[in-house]
Amino acid sequence: MPQGRCNEPCSPGYRKAPNGGYHVCCYNCVPCSEGEVSNITDSDICHKCPEEEWPDKKREKCILKPYEFLSYEKDILIFVFSGLSLLFSAVTLFILGIFIYYWDTPIVKANNRTVSFILLVSILLGFLCVFFFLGRPVAITCLLRQSSFGIFFSIGVSSVLAKTITVCIVFKATKPGSVWMKWISPRVSYSVVLVCSSVQVLICVIWLLVSPPYVEFDHQSYPEKIIIQCNEGSDLWFYSMLGYMGLLAAVSFLLAFMVRTLPESFNEAKYITFSMLLFCSVWMAMIPAYLSTRGKYMTIVEIFAILTSCAGVLGCIFFPKLYILLLKPELNCRKNIKEKN
């Protein structure tokens, strides 16, 4: 049958729209809106795709949305982070082995060697907890990733705080008749580590019981793909965990800054000051970057912060000691220290 028309028929992916003319056979062809398709010629309307699907490039059919997460198959960064985590872990184990070998030397004994070992182990666990953030999020990794790194970091920062308090007490106790003499005991350092770490453990346990993290499929941030991520459950407890860790780091920094110039042979305050300054700077920069990103980029930002802060504490506190142990062994002698003083 002859057809009356004054324009070509609309292809799939387009719909008919009136052009305001006198003849009804004249119309415009307009592309389907975002998220809609048409699969017939001269379609009057476009159909919206289901939530799990998205139009193809021609907007002729709906296809499944791709999933986005930090994938072992697609993201080269995941191998960079894995390699850095394993490398820093190996360096930490090497330092731990060197400290065990030189267990009875003055530089290892200084500022409570047991606390130094606790700090090294917590740094090692901090590097290894990066693997909870890699790959497709599942229920167990979502539960463990934030709480584990929060607890490990708090143990490490509590150890740094215990070292700083030890330096302060020793300096105060050098004055004749000082009441601080009775506080010069390893038990003070152990108590600081235990109490400060226990508070963070309590925060994380309450968080996991009240509103635990879970796997979330985000359809809203990017309409053309589905983001698989860990929802923190309760923002209040998540930021309480970060805030408490920041509080410990800030107190350590302030105390170490106050006693950084003390003329002590193995005074760690100067190194603690630099390490806590780096730690606080990294996490203060991380939070706005974390809040302004979505999907796997949030995970990348957090992994970078974890690796950088752990490596900063490891380098600032232990590399100077490692330098003396391996390259300047003559300085690791009580007789030379007394002569120098």
- The pLDDT tens digits of the residues spanning 47-63 come to 898 888 889 888 888 88
Q: Is the pTM of this model over 0.75?
A: yes
Q: Is residue 44 part of a domain?
A: yes
> Residue 318 belongs to what domain range?
77-340
Q: Is residue 2 part of a domain?
A: no
Q: Is residue 24 part of a domain?
A: yes
- Residue bearing the bigger pLDDT, 151 or 263: 151
CA 86/CA 131 separation, integer angstroms: 10
Same domain, 124 and 201: yes
Q: Which of 41, 64, 87 is the last residue of a domain?
A: 64
Q: CA separation (Å) from 269 to 59, 92, 125, 163, 221?
A: 64, 21, 24, 8, 45
Same domain, 33 and 168: no
pLDDT for residue 320 is more than 90: no
CATH number reported for the structural domain that contains residue 97 in this entry? 1.20.1070.10
Same domain, 44 and 153: no
Same domain, 294 and 154: yes
Same domain, 38 and 165: no
Q: Is residue 5 part of a domain?
A: no
User: SS3 breakdown of the chain: % helix, strand, coil, rounded to 5?
Assistant: 60, 10, 30
Same domain, 253 and 299: yes
CA 140/CA 314 separation, integer angstroms: 29
CA 109/CA 268 separation, integer angstroms: 12
What stretches of the chain adopt beta strand conformation (E)? 14-18, 27-31, 36-37, 47-48, 53-55, 62-64, 67-68, 214-218, 226-231
Same domain, 145 and 46: no
Q: Is residue 202 part of a domain?
A: yes
Same domain, 273 and 246: yes
CA 217/CA 227 separation, integer angstroms: 6
pLDDT for residue 20 is more than 60: yes
pLDDT for residue 21 is more than 80: no
Same domain, 126 and 259: yes
Which H/E stretch holds residue 331?
none
Per the structure, the count of domains in the chain is 2
Interval 119-142 mean pLDDT: 91
The pLDDT value given to residue 80: 92
Q: Is residue 177 part of a domain?
A: yes
Same domain, 39 and 187: no
Q: Is residue 168 part of a domain?
A: yes
Q: Is residue 326 part of a domain?
A: yes
Same domain, 31 and 169: no
pLDDT for residue 339 is more than 60: no
Same domain, 98 and 125: yes
**Confidence class for position 340, pLDDT limits 50, 70, 90:** very low
pLDDT for residue 85 is more than 50: yes
